[in-house]
């Protein structure tokens, strides 16, 4: 997993509509909470996404953006966003290229670890957390980042 202080690798991935979205374009709107999750519609990932959804007004008030990354297709992401009313971007990393770049491959190189990064507008990782099974750790991380107004740097 990338370390705090590291430069966040640039990427471009399709969103739920199939439109290309780059890290640079996300950071143009403020600091970014970039979270990686294993799969749409699974119990843990749904809980995590809904917790972040519920924190979204606080995140937005802090001038921050949110993007979730997982290997599912844009169509799956679109259905997931619609079903759970997720107000943030979900990006499709079908070949797990960005997962590898951020060092969040699952055990033995399979799957995706549940990891969350806070990236400032200069593209530096300000904070990060990985907790595969403890979903609440990520919600607390996001809440803390938003409450401190985050890394607008």
Task: Report helix, strand and coil shares of the chain as percent, to nearest 5.
Answer: 35, 25, 40
Q: What global pTM score does this model have?
A: 0.92
7 within 8 A of 102, measured Cβ to Cβ: no
138 band by pLDDT with thresholds 50, 70 and 90 = confident
**Residue 111's closest CA among 127, 133, 141?**
133
Q: Cα(153)–Cα(151) distance, rounded to whole angstroms? A: 5
Q: Does position 150 have pLDDT exceeding 80, yes or no?
A: no
In a domain, 4, yes or no: no
Sign for the pseudo-dihedral over CA of 107, 108, 110, 115:
positive
Into how many domains does the chain fold?
1
In a domain, 29, yes or no: yes
33 within 8 A of 142, measured Cβ to Cβ: yes
In a domain, 49, yes or no: yes
Which residues are tagged catalytic? 45
pLDDT tens sequence across 44-88 = 999 999 999 999 999 999 999 999 999 999 999 999 999 999 999
**Residue 68's closest CA among 24, 9, 120, 112?**
112
In a domain, 86, yes or no: yes
In a domain, 26, yes or no: yes
pLDDT tens sequence across 9-32 = 999 999 999 999 999 999 999 999
Domain that residue 141 falls in: 12-147
In a domain, 5, yes or no: no
CATH number at residue 138: 3.40.30.10
In a domain, 1, yes or no: no
């Amino acid at each position: 997993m990338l370390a705090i202080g590291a430069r966040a690798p640039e990427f471009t991935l399709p969103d739920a509509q199939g439109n290309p979205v780059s890290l640079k374009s996300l950071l143009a709107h403020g600091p970014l909470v970039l979270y990686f999750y294993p799969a749409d519609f699974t119990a843990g990932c749904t809980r995590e996404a809904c917790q972040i959804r519920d924190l979204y007004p606080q995140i937005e008030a802090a001038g921050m953006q949110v993007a979730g990354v997982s290997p599912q297709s844009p169509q799956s992401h679109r259905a997931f966003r619609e079903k759970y009313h997720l107000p943030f971007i979900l990006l499709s990393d079908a070949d797990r290229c960005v997962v590898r770049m951020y060092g969040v491959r699952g055990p033995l190189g399979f799957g995706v670890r549940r990891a969350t990064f806070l990236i400032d507008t200069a593209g530096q990782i300000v904070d990060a957390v990985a907790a595969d099974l403890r979903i609440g750790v990520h919600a607390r991380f996001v809440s803390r980042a938003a409450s401190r107004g985050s890394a607008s740097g």
